[in-house]
Amino acid sequence: MRIMLFSSQRYDQESFGAANAERRFDLTFQDTRLDLDTAPLAEGCEVVCAFINDDLGAPVLERLAAGGTRLVALRSAGYNHVDLLAAARLGLDVVRVPAYSPYAVAEHAVGLILALSRRLYRAYNRTRDGDFSLHGLIGFDLRGKTVGVVGTGQIGAVFARIMSGFGCQVLAHDPFPQPDLEALGVRYVDQDQLFARADIVSLHCPLLPDTRHLIDAETLQRMKPGVMLINTSRGALVDTPALIEALKSGRLGYLGLDVYEEEARLFFEDRSDLPLQDDVLARLLTFPNVIITAHQAFLTREALQAIAATTLENVAAWSAGDVRNRVEA
Ligand code: NAD
């Protein structure tokens, strides 16, 4: 069975190659992003394997279905980029990898917090330049700080446990509280209380119509002055221009982003030789208290192995008539 992997990088070739050693699917790796122009490349491929910034809107799905594709195997947990109603109408099955390593993403969020709170990126650049001074590097202890976790699913729960280990008071908001986190001392509160009381807010909820721009000018105004915001979830959870205003006023004291609303045409590519066309991102990158990583929170050896293994298991099960990890509208 032929599987075409769009947006594939060298690390995908390595992890999928290893996971395919026993299965012997016919894998074709495309480094190009899936969109209406590139969809014809999948002509005759029963299975298309897509990543988070591939275009899986109705026109692209129609083109894939017309070319013989029957299964879209997402090598991600998130599926907000798929037009599921169109897929159902076209008879396309959609499957995903519901869990690979929640530790990868949760630990990256913690990495962003420490890099910001201890200004590690400034220190790194400074000492490499022979400047061993400490001015401007004053940090703060995490112990005793209040951390607000929005969404305590797989990733948010791991993150809440790690932050409890630092001696933080952890507040959480989720429509489905987890009793084992409560037993650990995590307190579930409503969203308003979380925003009002947290020194650090970290987003771990999915992008849904009601969570789009969950963080905007109005919610930022309700947060503590100097608050730290971390988003490793999905870019559109925050209204990015509102972040810029809050950084300028000092309302937002620190910002760590692994995701960006307009990342689809930017991230995962080396654009260092090109002028940055995105003025919002360019402005964000001028602030000394902002760190942006290009959607790398998932990128650990363990997560890549799990993504490849589960994706190929999903395809094998589907071809045997057993649709596992199906995503439905
Ligand atoms: P999950 O489904 O296990 O958990 C999401 C949680 O959010 C659930 O408990 C749900 O009840 C809760 N939730 C839903 N709506 C909410 C709301 N309005 N307010 C508060 N909580 C709400 O998902 P997960 O695997 O923990 O992933 C979390 C997010 O991380 C997803 O959006 C996913 O896309 C993103 N993610 C990012 C990366 C990366 O590399 N940066 C990698 C994997 C996942």
118 classed as catalytic: no
What is residue 269's predicted lDDT score, i.e. its pLDDT? 86
* Three-state SS at 5: strand
H or E, element range at 256:
strand 252-257
233 lines ligand 1 (CB under 6 A): yes
Structure tokens at 112: 């962003």
What is residue 230's predicted lDDT score, i.e. its pLDDT? 98
What is residue 22's predicted lDDT score, i.e. its pLDDT? 87
Cα(204) to ligand 1 centroid in Å equals 5
List, for residues 137-166, the tens digit of each pLDDT value.
Answer: 999 999 999 999 999 999 999 999 999 999
What is residue 264's predicted lDDT score, i.e. its pLDDT? 85
256 lines ligand 1 (CB under 6 A): no
Q: pLDDT in tens for each of the 329 residues of the chain?
A: 999 999 999 999 999 999 999 888 999 999 999 999 999 999 999 999 999 999 999 999 999 999 999 999 999 998 999 999 999 999 999 999 999 999 999 999 999 999 999 999 999 999 999 999 999 999 999 999 999 999 999 999 999 999 999 999 999 999 999 999 999 999 999 999 999 999 999 999 999 999 999 999 999 999 999 999 999 999 999 999 999 999 999 999 999 999 999 898 889 888 999 999 999 999 999 999 999 999 999 999 999 999 999 999 999 999 999 999 999 98
Distances in whole angstroms, Cα of residue 290 to Cα of each of 117, 119, 188, 202: 11, 10, 28, 14
CB 106 within 8 Å of CB 155: yes
CATH number corresponding to 2-100+300-319: 3.40.50.720
Amino acid at the residue 170 = V
258 CA: nearest ligand 1 atom: 41
The structural architecture, per CATH, of the domain 102-292 is 3-Layer(aba) Sandwich (3.40)
In terms of Cβ atoms closer than 10 Å to its own Cβ (0-12, 13-18, 19+), residue 116 is: buried
Cα(150) to ligand 1 centroid in Å equals 9
Amino acid at the residue 131 = D
What is residue 265's predicted lDDT score, i.e. its pLDDT? 83
What does the alpha-carbon distance between residue 214 and residue 134 come to, in Å, rounded to a whole number?
A: 37
Q: Which residues of the chain are in CATH 3.40.50.720 domains?
A: 2-100+300-319, 102-292
218 classed as catalytic: no
Of the candidates 33, 173, 234, 251, the residue annotated as catalytic is 234
* Three-state SS at 4: strand
Residue 231 region, left (φ>0) first, then alpha (ψ -120 to 50), else beta?
beta
What is residue 329's predicted lDDT score, i.e. its pLDDT? 85
234 classed as catalytic: yes
296 CA: nearest ligand 1 atom: 40
> Which residue CA neighbors atom 36 of ligand 1 most closely?
233
